[in-house]
Structure formats: structure tokens, C-alpha cells
Structure 1
Amino acid sequence: MKAYGWPFLLLAMVAAAGCKPTPPVNGHIVPEAGLTKGQLIQSDSNRMANLEIRDNLNALYLLMDKLYQRNPSEWKKGAASREAAEAHVRHAVDNHLPLPGLQERDTKAVQLAFDAAFKGDRVGTLIYGLGDMLLTAHGGKRNLYLLDGLDAQRVYNAARNLEIAAWLLAQRKAANGQPLLLSNAMAGDVQNLSFERLFGSMIGRTDLVAEFTAEKYRRSVIDYGQSFFGGQFLQFLPVGEISSAASSL
């Protein structure tokens, strides 16, 4: 190998070392979805919104399970088991359908869940209302594709609605002073804030998608300008192959 080749080899080795992924700690790794045919007709913003709604619904269903465990009297109002009650709600949310036996949808269902006079399943009504609200903010779809648009203000409003629901869950009480739904709890000097963490994760994801969507069109103009000026004025055009081809004529 020529002497001047060693610096380039050294740089390549350093670059390869820099690309080495960070090892997971205690088995925690970044979740990564497999490639599907649908992703081929999804933009970056589509994919980001799809991951957001997927993870938010999963967090919502985890919240439902935790609430049912803390409030078993709620699922007993209309189901044979906690699992049956959860499946009932999930089916309605996943398919963006009305919840059988409930006339309200979206935020009206959330309001009903915190109505002191409501006699139905508060947990199921709350989770259904929040899930229906999130899907409505995403145009009623769990998966967006290239021809689908997203209203940034609706998504932003959904994040604010999640904040309101989290506050109501922690603060709304019945006439006897007891919480309408048990959630966060004290275990000695340790406070269980898992419910707030779930809401926080949903709010953060929703806010990020709202801001990204609002910036999407401005970024598309900037990206076009960067590619245009970069391609026209900042980058040299290749001449090696052209020269070789010309010399062979």
C-alpha cells in the first residue's frame, strides 16, 4: 500500500468505530418496527404520526388495565371479566367505532366519565373517549399514507385534552370526598406516579407530532432551497468519467 493510503485507511477505521451502536443497558433497546409494504407509500411525517398513534394507544390500553385493577367495580358494571371489558373497549377504539351502550364519543365521553351522576363504567368510558379523541385528531385513521393530511392544530388540541384528563383523574371526587377513580397512590413515603407518567408520555409524543406537522410545509420549502442552491452553486460536477469517455472517441 502506498504511503499516502495509510491516512485514508486510518480515517476509515476511526469512522467505523464511531458508527458502532451504543450497547443496551439492562436489556433496554430502542424499539424498531419491521419493514412493511405500507411503509413504501408513507412519508417521514406519515411514519412519525403512525408510530405516535400506535404508541399512544398502547399506553392508553396499559392505563386502562391499571385503572381496572385499581377500580375493579367499574368493569363489573357490564362485563364478565376485566379482560372482556378491555377487549370491548379496544375493539371500538381500534376500529374507530361507537362503543356499544354508550351514546357519547370523543371528549364528550371523557366528560361523561368524570360526571358524578354517571352510573356506567367510568374506566371504559374514559379510555374509549380518549382513544376516540386521538383517532379523530388523526383523521380517524391509525395509519396515514402519502395522500393523507394531518391537521397540526387538532393534534395539538388532543395533547391539551390529555392534560385536562390527567388533571381530572387526579382531582375529581365524588360527593363523599373519595376520588371518582383511584389512580396514583401513596405506599408509605413513596408515591406511585405511574399513571401520570403514562399521560406524560402520551402528551409528549402528541405535542412532538403537532409541532413537526406544523413545520412540515415550511421545512419542505427550506429543503428545496437547500438542494437547489447546493446542487447549483456549492457542489462541483464530476468530470472524471466524462473525460475518459471523451478521450475514447
Structure 2
Amino acid sequence: MEGFPIMKKCLWLSLCLSCVAGCSAFKPTSAVNGHVVPESKMTKGQWVESDPNRIANLEIRDNLATLYQLMDKLYKRNPSQWKKSGATSQARAEARVKQAIETRQPLPGLDGQRDIAAMTLALDTTYAGDRVGTLIYGLGDMLVTAHGGKTRLYLIDGVDAQRVYNAARNVEITMWMLAQRKGKDGQPLLVSNELSESGRNLSFERLFGTMIGRTDLVAEFAAEKYRRSAINYVQSFLGGQFLQFLPVQSLSGAASAAQ
């Protein structure tokens, strides 16, 4: 038994060396053409975020950023639209839409219509307002609504997998309608992707696809959170020094059995 402490120290030393070797094995991959994985700085709020919260927060942040890229591209391809909003410039029209989404306020001129109602209005052939601003506002408000009306989730907040999944399908439907729906003159309601003899411009489809992929991943992750909780519980025991059986009897039953 005298050699047991020495053996224990050797085991701990081996474990530490293995961890160091494992860390050194995962060296950052060099950037290609200047493109690297975006990293977020540590903030105080991250200490009160669960893993599902953190993933959902990154998803809604990046989806809104992608949505604003879509707004900029749509306004540039359809410059007549921002002028219908009453703004003095495209930048001011975009700022108004962003503010309405991020402050959870109705967009002026829509009579209080939000999320899917605003999306439906934007793609109505009889609508005479700013289709781009209305559509982007509706999409953004719909995404935030699917996440419980918040752009930042914490430990007390949950993610409804079905709502997030439905949001992904709404983005998918929007992409299809944007490409297919035409006005009375036979022209697209909004010019987006371009397929012509001069070339192919599918950047809108790519951005929509990115949003759909992110949202679907969060929906699937949220759907299996309870199974993952059980797995994580077992893994926490496997990582300890001893495994322990968990009681299945009531305390009174266990006491009588001991007598």
C-alpha cells in the first residue's frame, strides 16, 4: 500500500501530459485568403448563458447581420423601394428598419403589422409601399419572435425548437416567393437573383440558404436538449474518480431495508 500514493501521482502526471499533448495537437489552421472563423470576445453576459443559449445567441446575431446584407443588396437592385419609405437616403431607410427590429417596435406605415403579417404584405401584388423594408422588417421580427421575442437569451430562457424550426421554413418560403412571385406587369415584385446570358448571380439565394442552415441547426439542437442533458450527466460521472449508483427507493424504503 506504500506505493499507492506514488502510483496515484504517476497516473495524474500521465493524465496531465496527455492533456498537454492533446492541446498541442489542435493547432489553429492557417487562414486562407484572409478568411478566418469569426470569434466573439468574452463578455460578462456569457457567464449566465447555457450552451443552448450561446448557440442560439450566435445564430440570431449572425442571422440578423445576414438579413441586413440582404436588405442592402435588395435596395441596391431595387432603388425605387427605399424612396417609397419617405427616407431621404438608402442608409436612412436601412437604419429605420434595423432600429424597428432591434427595439421590437412596429415599422411606421404598416399599421402595427409585424412578423409574418408584414412578410405577407410585402409580397402582396397590390402593395404600393416599400417592399424591401417591409419584407426585411417582417423577417427580422419573425426571427426574434421565434426566439421568445429576445435577441439575447440567458439561463432562465429556453429555446422552443418548433418555433425556431418554423422560422427556418418561413425563410425558405420567402426565398421561393421572392424568386417566383410577379406583379401584374409580369415582372418580379423585387429583383434578386439573376440568370442571364451574361452570367449567374445567386448571391441572394446563398444568403438565404445560410440563414436557413443556421436556424435549422439551432432547432435540432434545442429539440434534443433533454437527451443531451442525460448524456452530459453520465459523462460527468465518467470523468470523475468513482462511479456512484443512484438511489431509486424512497428514503423510508431504504431505511427499512437497512434494518
Query: What is the one-letter code of the residue matched to 2:103?
Result: N
What TM-score do the two structures reach when normalised by structure 1? 0.86
The aligned counterpart of 1:242 is none
Query: What is the one-letter code of the residue matched to 1:223?
Result: N
The alignment of Structure 1 onto Structure 2 pairs a total of residues equal to: 226
Structure 1 residues without counterparts, runs of 5 or longer: 1-7, 235-249
What CA RMSD, in Å, does the superposition of the two structures yield over aligned residues?
Answer: 2.0
The whole-number CA distance in structure 1 between the counterparts of 2:184 and 2:115 is 26
Percent identity of paired positions between Structure 1 and Structure 2: 65
The whole-number CA distance in structure 1 between the counterparts of 2:83 and 2:188 is 18
Q: Aligned pair in 2 of structure 1 residues 29, 233: CA closer, same or farther (>3 Å)?
A: same
Q: Deviations over 1:41-82 (max 9, x none)?
A: 111111100000000000000000000000000001121110
The aligned counterpart of 1:56 is 63
More displaced, 123-132 or 220-229?
220-229
The aligned counterpart of 2:200 is 191
Q: Does residue 20 of structure 2 align to residue 19 of structure 1?
A: no
Q: Aligned pair in 2 of structure 1 residues 170, 229: CA closer, same or farther (>3 Å)?
A: same
What TM-score do the two structures reach when normalised by structure 2? 0.83
Query: What is the one-letter code of the residue matched to 1:85?
Result: A
Question: Residue 177 of structure 2 is aligned with which of 154, 159, 168?
Answer: 168
The aligned counterpart of 1:101 is 109
The whole-number CA distance in structure 1 between the counterparts of 2:159 and 2:23 is 39
More displaced, 225-234 or 189-198?
225-234
Q: Aligned pair in 2 of structure 1 residues 33, 14: CA closer, same or farther (>3 Å)?
A: closer
Query: What is the one-letter code of the residue matched to 1:185?
Result: E
More displaced, 179-188 or 202-211?
179-188
Q: Does residue 36 of structure 2 align to residue 33 of structure 1?
A: no
Runs (4+) off by over 6 Å = 10-14
The whole-number CA distance in structure 2 between the counterparts of 1:79 and 1:147 is 39
The equivalences for 1:36-185 within 5 A come to 36-77=43-84, 78-103=86-111, 104-185=113-194
SS of 1:76's partner is helix
SS of 1:65's partner is helix
The whole-number CA distance in structure 2 between the counterparts of 1:224 and 1:114 is 48
Query: What is the one-letter code of the residue matched to 2:73?
Result: K
The whole-number CA distance in structure 2 between the counterparts of 1:38 and 1:151 is 21
Query: What is the one-letter code of the residue matched to 1:65?
Result: D
Q: Deviations over 1:6-40 (max 9, x none)?
A: xx8x9899656522211000110110010111111
The whole-number CA distance in structure 2 between the counterparts of 1:162 and 1:216 is 24
Structure 2 residues without counterparts, runs of 5 or longer: 1-13, 245-259
The whole-number CA distance in structure 2 between the counterparts of 1:166 and 1:26 is 30
